[in-house]
Structure formats: structure tokens, C-alpha cells
Chain A
């Protein structure tokens, strides 16, 4: 939860910087490739359980991707680039967080099954003796 809040805060800080400092460099080309990469990352995160396991990161990625696409449509290429980069890294973090939680869950379950197995095997070994 702490991480989620700090991401939102930093996201806001970064976005503010984008809007204030970098908007208006019209000579930069539309970052179609970065938008495509960000979109693919968001889709992969959506399908990897991130909406369930990392809802904050997932929401940030979706929001930034939408804003990046909107900026690109308005030919605001610099904010579109920066937002696409952020959407990409947020989506990857969401996916990694989901993966981390799945792995942790699997490891915890594995530990429990090992514990059960150990005590069971101890019992069956004892009954042999």
C-alpha cells in the first residue's frame, strides 16, 4: 500500500514536470513505437493477473497509456513519449508484482505441503519401526 501511494505521488510529480517543462516541442515525431510497446505491456499485464494482484500499478499504467494516446492524437509528441515510457514501466511493474505474488503464494503453499509431507513421512517411518 505504501508503495502504491508513493507511485501515485511520483507519477503526479512526473506528469506535472511533463506538462510544465516539456510540452510544446512540436518538432519531435509521434512516438508510435513507444506507444505500441506501452500498449503491449499494458495488455500483457492485464492478462497476467495484475488487475487483481497489483491494482494500483495497473490503474496507473492504463491511465498513462490513455493520456499518451490522447497526447499523440493532439500531436503533443513530447508528453506522449514520456507518458508512453511511464505507462510501459508501470505496466511491467504491475505484471512483475502480480508474478511476484503468484510466486510467493506458490512458495508458501509449497512450504506448507512440505511441512505436511515431512510430518506424514515421519509418522509412516515410525510405524515401520
Chain B
């Protein structure tokens, strides 16, 4: 095609040279360049073959006019050839871009689908992880509740309160009855499993006897419980003790039943962050 083109140009130039006024036609030359450029664009052959055909037809007419020295008839077909050649390139470039985008759409859809699947997968994993954590938390809470239930502890603002009744002590004595052992075993086991919790042991008496006696007795009873817990492996640093004597009665001191309820040791179990337990008051 190029060889043919060059031959054509050579012929044109040769014939012009023979003429009296040899003037190579600028419009015709630039039309040849435009058509040649379009021909070399692979997209033109693929997407704008008809535009290129029109350009070549115009160029042939212009060449024909030049061949026969009809100089006035060269410019129009040469101009049309050049413009049609440019048109071919514009159409071809646009169609090539459009085709590339169209082909990419499918690929993009695929990537988006894969990406969405991955997101769904991630979300599923996150959900199951969260569920797992929640299950663990629920389980821990349920276990703690079971343990608290076993201790028969009562939740209060100061913490879980476990009341060890008078029956664990002989009257006027601070030594624990052998029967206290089972309750203290449970408490020591609970504290062994929850090493981040502190414990406060408060002793109380009824109103019988002097204040100093009662206060001393309440102290000794609290300390007896502390010793019993230490024997069962609870570190002394986690245990606080206090004796309040006849203060804070839980029942009427006018009858023996009420007095028995007032003679007691209260064990307060602190929160699981190790916070010390506030004193009674």
C-alpha cells in the first residue's frame, strides 16, 4: 500500500516537473500524509474502515485531478480526504477506548463480586468471633452465678455479702465450729478461682455485755475467719477484717431469736478488678 502510494506521489511529482510551472500541491501533500497516518493506525483498520475508504476515494479524485493538471479541482477532494482521514482516527480511537472499557466492565464486575464475597466472609468471621466471645462471657457469668448461688451470697452495693451465722461459733467464743468448715471451703475455693477479688470480714455481736467486750469479740471472730481462709490458701493481703461490736443489728435484740441473728460474721466479696472494699457505714 505504501509502495503504491509513493509511486503515486512520485508520478504526481514527475508529471508536475514536466509542467511549465511545477508546484507541488500543499493541500494534496498534507492529504497524503493524513491518509497515510490513518492507515498506519491499527485501530482505524479495526473500527473505522469505512471512514478510511471514503478518505482514500477523495484522495484518488485529488490525485486524478493533479495528474491531469486540473489544479483547481485538487483542493476540495484533498481537503475532504484529509478531514475524512482524521475523522477515521477519531472514530477509531473512541471506539477502541469504548471497547476497552466494555471489556473491562466484566473484569470489574468479577473483582467487585470477589471483593464483596471477601467482605461477607470477613463479616461472618467477625460475627462468629463476637458470638464466641459472647458465649465465653455468658459462660463465665453463669459459672460465677452458680458459685455465688452455692455460697448463698447476697449482692449489695459493697459487694457480694456472705453471712456466717452465730451457729458457726460457740457462745462467747471466737473459735469456729467444725461445722463451719464446709462453708469456708466453698468460700476459699471461690477466692482461689477469683484471685482478683478481695474480701472484707466484718464481725458483729448482740447487745448483751459491755461494748468493749462485744467489740473485742467481734474482732476476734472476724480474725478467726481470716485465719481459717489463710489456712485454706487465701493470701492475707487480700483479706481485711473489722469488728463492729453490737452496731448494725440485723434483728431485734429483745428476744433470743433476734439476738442470734445479730451475732454474726459478714464476708464481703469485692469486685473482680481488685478494688478494696469500703468500710461499713
Contact = CB atoms under 8 A, between A and B. Distances in A.
B94 A100 contact: yes
Interface stretch (B4-12, B81-89, B179-187, B269-277): B81-89
Contact of A103 (B71, B82, B87, B93): B93
Contacts of B75: 13-14, 16-18, 21
A21 to B, nearest CB: 3
Contacts of B196: none
B90 A96 contact: yes
A10 B82 contact: yes
A100 B71 CA distance: 34
Contacts of B86: 3, 93
B134 to A, nearest CB: 22
Contact of B30 (A6, A93, A117): A6
A114 interface: yes
A7 B114 CA distance: 49
Interface stretch (B115-123, B211-219, B247-255): B115-123
A21 B72 contact: yes
Interface residues of A, number: 40
B97 A103 contact: yes
A119 B272 CA distance: 46
Contacts of B111: 114, 117-118, 121
A93 B80 contact: no
Contacts of B104: 110, 114
A113 B94 CA distance: 19
Interface residues of B, number: 38
A124 B27 contact: no
B207 interface: no
B93 A11 contact: no
Given A10-B30, A13-B75, A114-B104, 7 more contacts: A17-B76, A89-B84, A90-B83, A107-B97, A110-B101, A121-B114, A128-B122
13 contacts: A7-B83, A85-B80, A86-B83, A96-B90, A102-B94, A103-B98, A107-B100, A110-B104, A113-B108, A117-B111, A121-B112, A125-B115, A125-B118
A56 B93 CA distance: 19
Given A10-B27, A127-B122, A96 B101 contact: no
Nearest to B84: A89
A41 to B, nearest CB: 11
A35 interface: no
Contacts of B80: 85-86, 89
B128 interface: no
Contacts of B100: 107, 110
A124 B119 contact: yes
Interface of A is mostly: helix
Contacts of B97: 100, 103-104, 106-107
B264 to A, nearest CB: 58
A124 B71 contact: no
Contacts of B93: 100, 103-104
Nearest to A107: B97
Indicate the member of B26, B75, B82, B119 with the most A CB atoms within 10 Å: B75
A34 to B, nearest CB: 12
Contacts of A93: 83, 86-87, 90
B199 interface: no
B76 A103 contact: no
B239 interface: no
B118 A121 contact: yes
Interface in B1-60: 26-27, 30
B91 A96 contact: yes
B129 to A, nearest CB: 13
Contacts of B112: 117, 121
